[in-house]
A = this chain, B = another copy of it.
Amino acid sequence: MTAHTQSQLEALNACIAACEHCVTACLQEPDVQMMARCITLARDCADVCALTARLVARGSAHAASLLKACAETCQACAEECAKHEHRHCQECVEACRRCA
């Protein structure tokens, strides 16, 4: 595996973990109603990053298409999470931006 692939996988895996944790933590917030959009976008982001990581790891011819879709979902998730001051949201912003 090249250093570039390794670095992509690390960013994708960190983003998946941050999004999964963010969804779980958002669902436990007292202001969960305000977090609904955040949950929605982090759910999508984790799923798209997870498939992208698989295609990157296997050297798929379709990895490029997924990396593009993945940049969109990461961007959308980061923008929404950035509106919230919760620590899990801020960590998610950072992971999504690095990944995008």
Binding site for B on A (CB under 8 A): 1, 9, 13, 16-17, 20-21, 23-24, 27-28, 30, 32-33, 36, 39-40, 43-44, 46-48, 50-51, 53-55, 57-62, 65-66, 68-69, 72-73, 76
Q: How many copies does the complex hold?
A: 4
Residues of B close to A28: CB separation below 8 A: 36
- Contact call B48/A23, Cβ cutoff below 8 A: no
Q: Offer 29 A-B interface pairs, CB within 8 angstroms, sorted by A.
A: A1-B21, A9-B13, A9-B17, A16-B53, A16-B54, A20-B54, A21-B59, A23-B43, A24-B58, A27-B36, A27-B40, A28-B36, A30-B33, A32-B36, A33-B33, A43-B58, A44-B55, A44-B60, A44-B61, A44-B62, A46-B54, A47-B54, A48-B66, A61-B76, A62-B69, A62-B72, A62-B76, A65-B69, A65-B72
